[in-house]
């Protein structure tokens, strides 16, 4: 295999793996009702998501999904989301200012 072919392949697979904050944002219309338009909640009952660590956010959402973090509000919110959705959503909130 030629060197440039390898570089091209690596570039493609990297872009597939990278989370997409814009795609994530598109999935957060319902979330904004509690977590705020820019990830800053107006009601202290709901945590702020803006500027949180992306890996932390993914872990939190997976935990609601599998029930290891038991929460009757959040479980249905993330139940139908794919792993890629969770990563994109996390990338979006992580990109926002605290």
Residues that bind ligand HEC (CB under 6 A): 28, 30-31, 33-35, 45-47, 49, 57, 60-61, 69, 71, 73-74, 77-78, 89
Residue 72 φ/ψ, nearest 5 degrees: -70, -20
* Between 1 and 29, CB nearer to ligand HEC: 29
Q: Is 35 exposed, middle or buried (0-12, 13-18, 19+ CB in 10 A)?
A: buried
* Between 47 and 51, CB nearer to ligand HEC: 47
Shortest Cβ 20–ligand HEC spacing (Å): 15
Dig out the tokens for 87 from the structure. 């990563």
Shortest Cβ 14–ligand HEC spacing (Å): 25
């Amino acid at each position: 295999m030629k060197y440039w072919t390898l570089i091209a392949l690596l570039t493609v697979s990297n872009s597939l793996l990278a989370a997409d904050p814009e795609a994530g944002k598109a999935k957060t219309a319902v979330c904004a009702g509690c977590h705020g338009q820019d990830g800053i909640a107006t009601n202290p009952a709901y945590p702020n998501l803006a500027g949180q660590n992306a890996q932390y956010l993914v872990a939190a959402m997976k935990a609601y999904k599998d029930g290891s973090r038991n929460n009757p509000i959040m479980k249905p919110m993330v139940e139908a989301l794919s792993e890629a959705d969770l990563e994109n959503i996390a990338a979006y909130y992580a990109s926002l200012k605290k």
